[in-house]
Amino acid sequence: MALADYEGMIHRCFRCGYCKFTSDYSYVGFNCPMYNKVRLESYSPGGLMWLIHAALVKEKLKPSKHLSEILYSCTLCRNCSEECRFQFHEDIVHVLKAAREAMVEKQLVPPMVSQFLKNVYDYGNPYRELKENRGHWAENTGIRQYEKGDEFLYYVGCVGSYDTVSQKAARALGRVLLKSGLSFGILGSREICDGNEVDMLGEKGLFEFLKEENTRTFKELGVKKIVTLSPHSYHALKNSYSDEFEVFHYTQLFRDLIKSGALDVSGGFRTKVTYHDPCFLGRYNHEYDAPREILTAIPGIELIEMERAKENAFCCGGGGGNFYTDILGGGESTPSRIRVMEARETGAKILAVSCPVCMMMLEDALKAEGLENELAIKDIAEIMDAVCGDSGA
Ligand code: SF4
Ligand code: SF4
């Protein structure tokens, strides 16, 4: 819907500020990562709603580059939609996204946003990498191209395909699927960006183009079921693509494969683990159980929750395109640095993630905090790869 369609709803936000906190207010601090960092009301959900109302709905304030920077500092983590006590709460992130669409139309987006969108348009990925190289991460792994009749398409996404740290998780996921005996394949050079961040940054036209291109490829190959590495891809493919594809995040599939006995976790993994919920798996798609069921099914793992978990999890700061654009910026109060410190307080030795964006954000934060000798960031796919390998862990 366009921004004007939300006018009545935006007007009803009266900046009570509930949406800045966790659900039971027991956590002393703010759960809106943008407000927590900047501490100005214009960078809070309620402040944003009023700025949007004044500038883009009533046109009483001239839309400016500064307004654009405020809008794009939001990580679209969805804490505000989760915590607002009013009936319109589900629409808050829709309004934030519609406001970005309006800024794209007015050509008032920050330079990093335009550059990201241009890269995806020109290359089919934000890294300016050649399409032919997209499947290189899978060389010598035994992970092959998707063939008609395979049960699953393994959709890897841009970060897992091109980023060298995330490629480790992409390979681990593939190895575990091979171990399970499931028939699957990847698209390699035929895969292009799923468009989730393009959509979140407000470029509707480009998102529709990517969706159509990917959908055409899926249909040509007779794809019925898709498993994704990234919760961002999962969100786009599950909720914005055709419902003729059955879409799973890999943690959901692993959980089922453990239950059916196709994956043997008896090798165990003896350590204390805490788990960070990614916004696009948790708050956007309400999948809090699958990753935890995997971790608790592995003998030897002691799962310790952080103070903020599940619907109260604190965003790593990489959502809403910020992983690529870094508009919220660095420093000690960066969401990812706060999050690794929170993980360290649990006494866990591993901070488990199930998202390549969280992985990268938290890895950088770990180094910035100098915690590399105390805590390791591992994707659940990597943990499962170690557990299901021949020697266990
Ligand atoms: S979005 Fe909801 S909780 Fe947040 S300030 Fe507005 S009315 Fe209050
Ligand atoms: S989506 Fe997250 S970062 Fe954006 S305003 Fe809401 S709580 Fe803050």
> From the CA atom positions of the chain, what is the Rg in Å?
21
Ligand 2 mean position, distance from CA 33 (Å):
7
Domain boundary among 207, 223, 256: 256
On whether residue 307 sits in a domain, the answer given is yes
Do 219 and 305 sit in the same domain of this protein? Answer: no
Please give the pLDDT value at position 4. Answer: 86
Alpha helices in the chain (DSSP H): 7-11, 33-38, 45-52, 65-73, 79-83, 92-105, 111-123, 158-162, 164-180, 196-200, 204-220, 231-239, 250-260, 289-297, 322-325, 335-345, 356-369, 380-388
Question: Do residues 123 and 249 share a domain?
Answer: yes
The DSSP bridge partners found for residue 145 are 186
Both 167 and 78 in a single domain?
no
Ligand nearest to the CA of 31: 2
Ligand 2 pocket test, candidate residues 71, 77, 314, most atoms within 8 A of CB? 77
- Residue ranges of the chain with per-residue pLDDT less than 70: 390-393
Whether 146 and 184 have beta carbons less than 8 Å apart is answered as: yes
How many angstroms separate the Cα of 71 from the Cα of each of 82, 103, 121, 123? Answer: 19, 9, 22, 26
Ligand nearest to the CA of 30: 2
One DSSP character per residue, 61-106 reads S---HHHHHHHHH-----HHHHH--SGGGGGHHHHHHHHHHHHHHT
Same-domain pairing of 90 and 78: yes
Q: Are residues 292 and 212 in the same domain?
A: no
- Indicate whether 159 and 47 sit together in one domain: no
Going from the Cα of 48 to the center of ligand 2, the distance in angstroms, rounded, reads 9
CA 172/CA 382 separation, integer angstroms: 5
Q: Are residues 131 and 170 in the same domain?
A: yes
* Residue whose pair of structure tokens reads 């490629």 in the numeric block: 167
Q: What is the pLDDT of residues 280-290, one digit of tens each?
A: 999 999 999 99
Concatenate the DSSP letters of all residues of 349-371 into one string.
SEEEES-HHHHHHHHHHHHHHT-
pTM of the model: 0.97
Residues 159 and 292 reside in one and the same domain: no
- 53 C-alpha vs ligand 1 centroid, how far in Å? 14
pLDDT of 390 reads 59
Whether 346 maps to a domain, the answer reads yes
Tell me the CATH number at 332.
3.40.50
Q: Is the CB of 17 under 6 A from ligand 1?
A: yes
> Is 213 within the bounds of a domain?
yes
Q: Could you tell me if the CB of 47 is within 6 A of ligand 1?
A: no
Report yes or no on 129 lying in a domain: yes
Q: Are residues 250 and 269 in the same domain?
A: no
- Considering the domain architecture, whether residues 250 and 287 belong to the same structural domain is answered as no
Q: Is the CB of 77 under 6 A from ligand 2?
A: yes
Residue 18 inside a domain? The answer is yes
Q: In ligand 2, which atom is closest to the CA atom of 83?
A: 7
pLDDT of residue 301: 98
Ligand 1 pocket check for 88: Cβ under 6 Å? no
Closest ligand 2 atom to the C-alpha of 48? 5
**Domain enclosing residue 191, as ranges:** 112-256
Pick the ligand that lies closest to the CA of residue 100: 2
Between the alpha carbon of residue 182 and those of residues 124, 164, 179, 253, 359, the distances in Å are 29, 26, 8, 11, 26
Mutate to test the pocket of ligand 1, among 6, 9, 10, 19 (most ligand atoms within 8 A of CB): 19
For residue 322, what are its two tokens? 């910020």
Number of domains the chain is built from: 3
Judgement on whether residues 376 and 315 belong to the same structural domain of the protein: yes
Is the beta carbon of 200 within 6 A of some atom in ligand 2? no
Ligand showing the shortest atom-to-Cα distance for residue 32:
2
Do 182 and 217 lie in a common domain?
yes
The CA 347 to ligand 2 mean position distance, Å, reads 28
Last residue of a domain, one of 109, 136, 155: 109
Q: Is residue 393 part of a domain?
A: no
How far does residue 50's CA lie from ligand 2's centre (Å)?
14
* Domain's final residue, options 234, 256, 278: 256
The CA-atom distances, in angstroms, between 358 and each of 98, 160, 245, 256, 389 are 25, 12, 26, 24, 25
